[in-house]
Amino acid sequence: MSSTVRPYDPDAKQPIVWRGWLLYLLPLPLLPATFLALFDGSVVTALARGIGFGLIVGAASCIRKGIKLDNEAVRRNLRRRASTVRYRFVGAIMASVGVFLVAWLGVVGANGLIASVLFGLAVLGGCYLYYDFDTPARLDGVAATGITTEELIELLDEAEGRIQRIEADARRINNTEFRDRLRRIATEAREILRTIEEDPVDARRARKFLKVYLDGAQQVTEGYARAHRGEDDPVLEDNFRRVLGTIETVIGEQQQKLAENNAGDLDVKIEVLQMQLEQEGVV
């Protein structure tokens, strides 16, 4: 399969899981300082310290989010593309504003406005030098995917979570045939996820399929595992067998269409699957 998106270069950014945590520690002294200012009756000082504390903690969360997206891109060998939010840039702005407020209004014998602005700019520059900012532009070959790295990682994580629930429910089923078929379904679903990771252009086309197919497969498996306790129920088994057959057929067709880069009548097949799941009373 040809790909219009080059693989992400793992040497460009190495995942460092602790990066950004220091920002959570730096504003901690502001918390007791805020209450001390309140006890002293310095409302403006307390507000400046409290808001500064909140902004810096929020900045840490945003910067960590941006770092996490980069780390996930490296782990999944995805080329990093623009996020819906420029998390590290937003975080740097929040930290800068927080430090500016504390320096200007939250310090006894407060600094002047110009000095406080310089403090804020120094924090902004430090965040840029240490954490960098997210790329604002949509890189060549990325716009065609119709999906950002953030959305792609979320889609893949949700799909993997559904696959894991299918496997967990399958272990509760005593029928060997059904357990084997569900294991094959989980394996084939992960093959589709790997195909999407290798060529994110397929993600936009496969998004609805992954959500409907995996959600339906997980619901029907959970429903059968919950209902099939004690004595065998031939009617329930026949219904479950038919639904599994439909799911296996649809996933095979999806694999072929992804291999051929052909999305023809895929939505129709998805609607057929959804209708059958509803008729069997599992969605």
Q: What is the pLDDT of residues 26-62, one digit of tens each?
A: 899 999 999 998 898 889 899 999 999 999 999 999 9
Token pair, residue 249, equals: 């057929």
Predicted pLDDT of residue 106: 82
pTM: 0.60
Average pLDDT over residues 77-105: 82
Non-local (6+) Cβ contacts of 102 within 8 A are: 30, 48, 49, 52
pLDDT at 254 over 60: yes
Predicted pLDDT of residue 113: 87
User: Are the CB atoms for 125 and 57 separated by under 8 Å?
Assistant: no
Average pLDDT over residues 212-241: 78
Q: Where are the domains of the chain?
A: 22-131, 146-279
d(CA 152, CA 148): 6
- Of residues 236 and 45, more confidently modeled: 45
> Model confidence over 148-174: pLDDT tens digits?
777 778 888 888 899 999 999 999 888
pLDDT at 193 over 90: no
Largest CA distance in the chain: 82
User: Are the CB atoms for 212 and 273 separated by under 8 Å?
Assistant: yes
Q: Give 278's pLDDT tier (boundaries 50, 70, 90).
A: low
pLDDT at 273 over 70: no
Average pLDDT over residues 178-182: 91
Average pLDDT over residues 3-27: 58
Task: Report helix, strand or coil for 42.
Answer: coil
d(CA 71, CA 131): 13
Nearest by Cα to 57 from 79, 34, 75: 34
Predicted pLDDT of residue 280: 55
Nearest by Cα to 224 from 280, 183, 279, 272: 280
Q: What is the mean pLDDT of the chain?
A: 77
d(CA 218, CA 181): 13
- Of residues 170 and 20, more confidently modeled: 170
Helix, strand, coil shares of the chain, percent, nearest 5, are 70, 0, 30
pLDDT at 74 over 80: no
d(CA 211, CA 196): 14
Percent of the chain beyond pLDDT 70? 72
Predicted pLDDT of residue 11: 42
pLDDT at 8 over 60: no
Non-local (6+) Cβ contacts of 61 within 8 A are: 91
Predicted pLDDT of residue 82: 52
Predicted pLDDT of residue 35: 92
Task: Give me the amino acid identity at 229.
Answer: R
